[in-house]
Amino acid sequence: MHQDYAILKRQDNIDAYFKDIEKIYVSNGWGSSYPEGLLRQMFSASYYLLATTTSGAVGFLRGFTDGAMVTHLSAIVVDPGLQRRGIGRLLMQKFLQDIGHTTIYAEALNPQAAQLLERHGFGESRNLRVYSRTKTLG
């Protein structure tokens, strides 16, 4: 089924897809607004893959890497109406082709994310603690 999806990479211009990306974030409960300037900043500073069809963007993967040793997978997000159709799997396969030679860290925010990671060889690290600091507004 994934043959219907094109994968755009960092070197590709994705400006035309920012409205789609915002819709995907918001429809998955990841906030309420992603202005174009914010998305441009977010995506310009990261490794990303964008799954598209002729009608627009349908999912994306974002991460941060030094390209040699360490990568942090920060998000795999797919349009809710298109989930469970192989888009996340396609994004993960391409990601692992590109970055699989590094140690990859990822957090699973829900059971579906954990299953996707486990299906691609990730395991839970019993000794790793995750810390976060929320951005302060004002």
User: How many CB atoms sit inside 10 A of residue 88's CB?
Assistant: 22
pLDDT for position 120:
96
Per-residue pLDDT of the chain (138 residues; tens, 9 = 90+): 445 889 999 888 899 999 999 999 999 999 999 999 999 999 988 899 999 999 999 999 999 999 999 999 999 999 999 999 999 999 999 999 999 999 999 999 889 889 999 999 999 998 888 888 887 765
DSSP labels for 101-138? Answer: TSEEEE--SSHHHHHHHHHTT----TT------PPPP-
Domain ranges of the chain: 2-119
Q: Which residue do the tokens 């507004």 mark? A: 137
Options 3.60.70.12, 1.20.950.20, 3.40.630.30, 3.40.50.720; CATH for 2-119 is 3.40.630.30
The residues with which 75 forms a beta bridge, in sequence order, are 62
